Structure 1
């Protein structure tokens, strides 16, 4: 028998051994776990930094100008996602699949082709958008015109960063891929904005977007140096093969998917702009900035697992795909629930930091938190569909859900204001999560929900108990 007093020490040694295994092993799953851990760390750092940046911007600009900035920022996300034509998001699928199948010529061709499209297409789109704003100026409220024009200038930088991020994720270069986007960019926006106000520039949405352009340009240069430099060392020189038609067809759903994702996520802000003042939009947006930390959990899991879903499916390894699905579902649910509790507990205090009047958004924060947990319950269904050739289904679902979300927002914002917007968003998010999980079960026979993941937990606990019972006999 092992003395009771030795049990805690044994557990500590076991935990340290597990930690060494995750940190030192070079197998695929260990690398994926490290990538997810690094991504989660960076996104938590991003949450803290982005929150601090938003607090400073809100306090400098006030509710009205902050509301204008928030509204314009939403459109930057939407149009930035669409204008890459999907090549800012498809590398995580194609690079993993082409490496798995050993198609080096296709890999070299795709990397160059996707990089060119990811910058050139947004430049064209930005010019067209700016012309549209210019000629439609009489129908747009004056306060929004110049921020929207500056937003068009920022668009190509953000789009090329999305391409570099996905390439880095596909190669497990997690820090060079994510740090410039989620840490450096926000830090520079904060530094540039504070410096601009200190130099005498007006604390307005126009100034904030000018600072955003400078921050994005700086971060893009650094990220390009890191990712493109590593690619030259990693991908051997050789001939390039191009399949533009196939890549356009395969990438297009990602453009729809990401554009609809941002439209879906920020539909409330867009609809609110027709019914409430920019000050109310600012309060709602502040609540979403706090709740977004919960959304970082699924994102971090996606960084470490999305390309593995693609590789497992390409190899026809259903057992590997099932195990990976269960692991991601379980970890995502547990982490998301814990972070949600923390957000709800500290939410009032965090809102008050934005300035006077922002605490009225606490009900919004509570309602949106329910939606985040509902999303976690049904697991990584969207990632699995996107990485296994069913991205068109995800894209179609988003289009339908954007319409439903818009209808719900109009119906609930008119009588309930920003609280109605939160209810509409949570209802739409829950419906979408249920539908995607059902679609994965129907097409791939996988249960992405926490119910399916529970089998993995029960199996793991069973092995632990069996090992514990066997120790005295040994």
Structure 2
């Protein structure tokens, strides 16, 4: 395993760029929906995005809790130790994501109903967006591992490619199937990014960040 030789600010830049690209994809999807389908549909889709983010909270918590352990295990050059750290909260995180995602979908009606007639049309997009959070949980803390284990440049490159492709796919996806198309484009970006990251982590570090690779 490679020992970390990165400066924290450089790794942070790659992580920040990835986060900003994700925000850009989410925000631009709302803008494009507003242009194609009108402001009511865009508002309802925005709410659906935020409800779906509830399902991602367990993985965020696990990332925060295990960041130090991941970095220390990598710095020690011990692949088995790193694998144990990544496996420690894996099933708990996945179970909590499924539970929260299911609860968010079941209880979304009152929030979506604030947008009137558009609410019923957002049930399918919401389900697709929640699937994206579940994909993240299954694949594990890929971005965290790449940031802390000398893979921040690869993370930045794959983020630019995957999110750029998703942004290019967004307008035709919305024209094809409206809000469902936008949700599908976003979730496909999540899937592609995770698969690329899992492949790179396996090859470079010899560990699996999650069970969904």
Q: Same fold (TM over 0.5)?
A: yes
Q: Deviations over 1:368-404 (max 9, x none)?
A: 1222222221111111111111111111111111111
For 1:379, the equivalent position in structure 2 comes to 140
For 1:308, the equivalent position in structure 2 comes to 69
| Counterparts of 1:247 and 1:350, CA distance in 2 | 40
* Larger-Rg structure: 1
| Counterparts of 2:134 and 2:53, CA distance in 1 | 12
Match status 1:406 vs 2:182: no
Query: Does the 8 Å contact 1:328/1:380 carry over to 2?
Result: no
SS of the residue corresponding to residue 356 of structure 1 reads helix
CA RMSD of aligned residues (A): 2.3
Q: Deviations over 1:296-349 (max 9, x none)?
A: 111111110122211221232333211111123322211111212222222324
TM-superposed CA distance for 1:451, in Å, is 6.1
TM-score normalised by length of structure 1: 0.41
Query: Does the 8 Å contact 1:271/1:410 carry over to 2?
Result: yes
| Counterparts of 2:80 and 2:196, CA distance in 1 | 24
For 1:53, the equivalent position in structure 2 comes to none
TM-superposed CA distance for 1:410, in Å, is 1.4
TM-superposed CA distance for 1:294, in Å, is 0.5
Match status 1:322 vs 2:46: no
For 2:39, the equivalent position in structure 1 comes to 278
| Structure 1 spans left out of the alignment, 5+ residues | 1-96, 98-244, 453-474
Q: Which has the higher contact order (CA 8 A, sep 6+)?
A: 2
Q: 1:380 to 1:249 in 2, by over 3 A?
A: closer
Q: Deviations over 1:134-154 (max 9, x none)?
A: xxxxxxxxxxxxxxxxxxxxx
| Counterparts of 2:9 and 2:132, CA distance in 1 | 33
For 1:45, the equivalent position in structure 2 comes to none
Q: 1:441 to 1:422 in 2, by over 3 A?
A: same
TM-superposed CA distance for 1:276, in Å, is 3.2
Q: 1:308 to 1:270 in 2, by over 3 A?
A: farther
| Counterparts of 1:250 and 1:347, CA distance in 2 | 37
TM-superposed CA distance for 1:433, in Å, is 1.4
Match status 1:416 vs 2:174: no
TM-superposed CA distance for 1:284, in Å, is 0.4
For 2:117, the equivalent position in structure 1 comes to 357
TM-superposed CA distance for 1:247, in Å, is 5.3
Match status 1:338 vs 2:103: no
TM-superposed CA distance for 1:427, in Å, is 1.6
TM-score normalised by length of structure 2: 0.86
Which aligned pairs between 1:75-154 and structure 2 lie closer than 5 A? none
For 1:391, the equivalent position in structure 2 comes to 152
| Counterparts of 1:448 and 1:326, CA distance in 2 | 8
Query: Does the 8 Å contact 2:112/2:119 carry over to 1?
Result: yes
